[in-house]
Amino acid sequence: MVHQLPTGAKDLLPLDVAQKRWIESRIQQVFQSWGYQRIITPTVEHLRSLTAGGAVDPESVIQLHSNSIDILGLRPEFTASIARAYAARLGGNVATCPQRLYYNANVFRRRSNNTSEESFQAGVELLGASGLLADGEILMLLAESLDRVELENWQIILGDARLTGALLELFPEQYRDKVRQCLASLDRISLQEMDLPTDVKGYALELIDLRGKPKDVLSRLSNSAWTSSLTGEINYLKSLIELWESTGTTSVDRLILDLSFMQTFDYYTGIVFEVACNNYVVAQGGRYDHLLGVYHPQNISYPSIGFCINLEDLQQALQSRLPQTLVTSKCLVVAQSPKAMQSAFAYAAKLRQDLASDAIELELEFRAETEVRNHARLRGITQIAWISNDGAASLESVS
């Protein structure tokens, strides 16, 4: 009988783990340097908690059998779980804000073809903070995280759910849903073929093309005859772009403003974004100012924003820069006879204490010296310690 994993589940072999840890350790160093602290939430939640507030589509949750009347599910993402965990604890005490939290674990999602998928995410949530400084912090923290792992050719595609929603509200009500669908799928052809009044169609085509360098897009938006009532929203984005550009880092030119870029409108309330690199979406996030109120006993909400990094997509995008071999042991300790076994264990223990950062292996068989040397070479071990019956150690370099 062949035993196989369920579809979508994953085994990570040592090299996969080494590459994953290389990425995670660098990202976590950045998170911690900005004052973010790690949170761990349960893998299993009540389905009603995972889907509250429209944050998660119930169809995407892998549901579990339970003796309880409540349906349980595996977490498909972290934002809902963190919102649930912190909403009640924040109470009405704004003095505890902002809360800077980060996470790093696996998530589970059911796909549209009814298959399941396990994946790994790392990310942050900034709870109880709004405005330019909070939005700017999240964007700059994301950029620094990507630079820390030496990712190349990445771009942030930035949208604004509030502004795009306001732009759609300018359409006559009977056209909004159709235009929204075309914008979400970047379907310019369907938009052109849609039976719309000439002026409405012109505005819709103008909206779907609002993509490019931030200052160019905002200039076109400011000069549009349709947007005179949206000065406040436009000026906010202008200020955010100016804050981003003021950093003077190499990431400045990596920002693309796309006002046709949309996430779930019931969930996001401000800026939304994703990071694209070599056909991979390595990160996404946005502002959600009402979600915590869904979980709060008194429906008190706290403005919040966050992002998640898709670790497997990032690993694929980084593949050429990641470790391609495993770190080998420094030394192989060999008992030359059964009488030398205790001395071999003692010598190996001393080496591990003296060389805290190096791995020390024990030879587990009594083989000929030639076989031991060949074994060491195959494993990439450069030194052998031969332990004699009297406990003496003789060191040999292996080339």
Which pLDDT score, from 0 to 100, does residue 208 have?
85
Contact 310, 353 (CB under 8 A): no
The mean pLDDT of 189-209, rounded to a whole number, is: 84
pTM for the full predicted model: 0.89
% the chain with pLDDT above 70: 96
b/e burial code for range 33-43 (CB count within 10 A of at least 16 → b): ebebeebebee
* Separation between Cα atoms, residue 167 and residue 114, nearest integer Å: 35
The mean pLDDT of 277-295, rounded to a whole number, is: 93
The mean pLDDT of 32-43, rounded to a whole number, is: 96
Contact 165, 176 (CB under 8 A): no
Which pLDDT score, from 0 to 100, does residue 249 have?
65
Please write the tens of the pLDDT for every residue from 299-336: 888 999 999 999 999 999 999 889 898 888 999 999 99
Q: Say if residue 92's pLDDT is above 60.
A: no
SS3 83: helix
Please write the tens of the pLDDT for every residue from 262-276: 764 467 899 999 999
Torsion, Cα 225 227 232 236, to 10 degrees, reads -100
* Lowest mean pLDDT segment, chosen from 77-86, 114-123, 182-191, 373-382: 182-191
Q: Where are the beta strands (DSSP E) in 94-200?
A: 99-110, 116-127, 155-160
Angle in degrees, CA 295, 299, 302, rounded to 5: 80
296-300 contacts at long range (C-beta below 8 A, 24 or more positions apart): 296/87, 296/88, 296/90, 297/88, 298/92, 300/87, 300/90, 300/91, 300/92
Please write the tens of the pLDDT for every residue from 96-111: 789 999 999 999 998 8
Q: Say if residue 253's pLDDT is above 70.
A: yes
* Lowest mean pLDDT segment, chosen from 82-86, 294-298, 348-352: 294-298
